[in-house]
Each structure stands twice: as C-alpha cells, then as structure tokens.
Amino acid sequence: MQQRILSGIQPSGALHLGNYIGALRQWLDLQHSYQCYFCIVDYHAMTVRQNPDDLLHNIYALAALYRAVGLTAKNVVVFKQSDVSAHTELAWILSTFTYMGELERMTQYKDKVKQHKKNNNVGLFTYPVLMAADILLYQANLVPVGEDQKQHIELTRQLAERFNTIYGEVFTLPEYFAAPQGARIMSLDDPTKKMSKSATTEWGYIALTDNPDVIMKKIKKAVTDSGSEIRAGKNKPAITNLLTIYSVLSGKSVTDLEQLYLGQGYGKFKTDLGEVIITSLEPIRSAYNELMEDPEQLIQSLLADGANRARVLGDVTLTQVKTKLGVL
C-alpha cells in the first residue's frame, strides 16, 4: 500500500518564501510517491481572532496557492480542516491523553503567548493536540513541515504511542520530514528570527504573491553581515540565509555560489538573487491570480471533493478509536 503524507498550513494571510521552501516545495516532490492529504487548518487559525470575511478569503487563497504551486497529482487531497468534524472529535479524545506539562513546554505556545498577551486563549495551549489529531486521523507515515513544527510531531508520536500502549496498535507513528536545505528560512530584516507572516514589518518576508518590483526592493533592503564577503558561516547569519534561498531556488550549491561571487560585493549578488526569486515565483503568482478570478468555482470543486475524500479515511480511524474506548 502507498505510504501516506499529511501536512497543513494556516489560512492566515499571504504565504511567504519560508513556507514555500520549508514546506510546499517538499510536498511538490513527495506528491508523486505518496498518497497526500494537504489540509487548510482553519480551526488552528482561529487561535488568533479573525475577521470572518478575511478568513474565508484566506481559505480560498490558500486553496488556490496549493494548486498554483503545482500540487495537482491525482492522489493529492486538498481539504479544509473544519469540513471534517472528526478532527475536533479526535482532538478532544487525545487531549485526555496529553499532560499539561507537555503542552507547557511547547516553544510555539510560549512564543504565541508573548505575542498575544491579551488573547492567551485555551486554544493556543491545546493547538498541538488538534495538530496531532490532524495527523493521526489519516494514519500519516510522514509529515513534511518546517523545523519549527518538529516539536509538535514529537508530541504527536508520544500521544500515538501512549494510546497504542493501552489499546493496541491503532495509530501509525508519523515521522517528521524536513527539507534537506532551508527547513528554517530566516527573516530578511532580522536573521536571528524565522521568516514569518506575523512579522512586524513586511520587509522581513517575501510573499509568494509579491510582484517583481516588491521582491527586488525587499532583497535590496535585506540586512547583511559585517564584512563584504559572500560566504556562509556561523558568524554570518544574514548572508547564510540569503545563500540558502539562492541555492534552493537555483539548484546551485552554496559552495558554488560562494565561488561565483568571490571578490564581488553585495550589489551584484543581491540583484541576481532577486532575479532568481522573481523567476521562481512568477509562474506561481500568475497561476494564483488566474485561479482567484473565480474562487467560488475553485472551492466547490476542489474543497468539496477533498472533504469527501478526507471524511472517508478520517471516519475509519475515528470509528476504530471510539470502539477501543468503549463509546461505540
């Protein structure tokens, strides 16, 4: 039987180059050898207050982007988390197998609490349990995500093991799958922080839908390290990050790039990097714009079909779990 992948992204605004390199590009490669479930995790997005119109728009936009990047293989199921109620049901069940201390340790939770002091809701805390439910419901073998999610996958494995130990083999233990390069793309205006949508300024990230002028401006403005050498290294976080992006998108190794720009300043390097990013993102942007001309049509065909296919599999697992627990 073909192995299975599950991954998800929150519909909370423009996706950026970090999402693309850390997650989406991996999905693209894997879609041909795995049965894939790609989720739009709208319930996760609700841990931060959302405007309903914006949320719906962002759901459409993310579905369009999944298509636009090229997730179009037959065995790819794209669906919205809230369409499959088994996710929240299983999340409740799993929460009774999760210890407070385990959730208190989660780095993303600690960061989010700092960011959202006025809305430190219970959902922020139990967020990883819902994520575990997303994964375990589909008996996923592999979860391709950026490095920031590794801790959540480890928790998911713990919960699965805990359940299996008591009730027998119900859940598949999922593996974390990281991009070989670029699992953590850093912010352009502060290379000590990961590139993020919730960044305070737009200079920190490149959105997949940014136009060429904006991309070039952002790269030109990206901070650099002291010294003028184009070389990767521990004491050169900014240039290392730019070289990583360049390398992943161009297919040239970092060593080759260092060689290529030996003795040259940042100017030429940045212009070339800007061009590489623009060329990589252009087909995505144009496919995205075309799909967004008729989002209703997209939702009906893509998400309705995806939800039906996801429900079938989710129900099998949930039925098994409920039977084991004695509630069915």
The site for ligand AMP (CB under 6 A) is made up of 9-10, 18-19, 21-23, 145-146, 148-149, 183-185, 194-197
**Residues in touch with ligand TRP (CB under 6 A):** 6-8, 10, 41, 44, 131, 134-135, 143, 145, 149, 152
Cβ-closest position to ligand TRP: 8
Q: What is d(CA 302, CA 177) in angstroms, rounded to the nearest whole number?
A: 26
Is 114 among the residues known to form the active site?
Answer: no
**In b/e form, how buried is each residue of 6-30, taking b as 16+ CB within 10 angstroms?**
bbbbbbbebbbbbbbbbbbbbbbeb
Q: Which does 218 bind (CB under 5 to 8 A by kind): ligand TRP, ligand AMP, none?
A: none
**Considering the complex, what minimum distance in angstroms separates the CB of residue 45 from ligand AMP?**
8
Shortest Å, Cβ 7 to ligand TRP: 4
Instruction: Answer yes or no: are the C-beta atoms of 7 and 35 closer than 8 Å.
Output: no
For residue 250, give both structure tokens.
Answer: 């161009």
112 annotated active-site? yes
CA nearest 127: which of 171, 88, 178, 177? 88
Residue 194 contacts which entry, ligand TRP, ligand AMP, none (Cβ below 5-8 A, type-dependent): ligand AMP
Q: Which of 110, 193, 197, 218 does the annotation list as catalytic?
A: 197
The least distance separating ligand TRP from the CB of residue 131, rounded to whole angstroms, comes to 4
Q: How far is the CB of 146 from ligand TRP (least distance, A)?
A: 7
134 binds, among ligand AMP, ligand TRP, none (CB under 5 to 8 A by kind): ligand TRP
Give me the residue whose beta carbon is nearest to ligand AMP: 22
Q: Which is nearer to ligand AMP, 19 or 81 (CB)?
A: 19
**Active-site residue, 197 included:** yes
Burial class (CB in 10 A: 0-12, 13-18, 19+), 227: exposed
Cα R_g (the chain), whole angstroms = 21
DSSP 9-69: E--SS--BHHHIIIIIHHHHHHTTTSEEEEEE-HHHHTTS---HHHHHHHHHHHHHHHHHH
Q: Is 125 left (phi over 0), alpha (psi -120 to 50) or beta?
A: alpha
What does 183 bind: ligand TRP, ligand AMP, none (CB cut-off 5 to 8 Å by kind)? ligand AMP
Q: Catalytic amino acids? A: 112, 194, 197
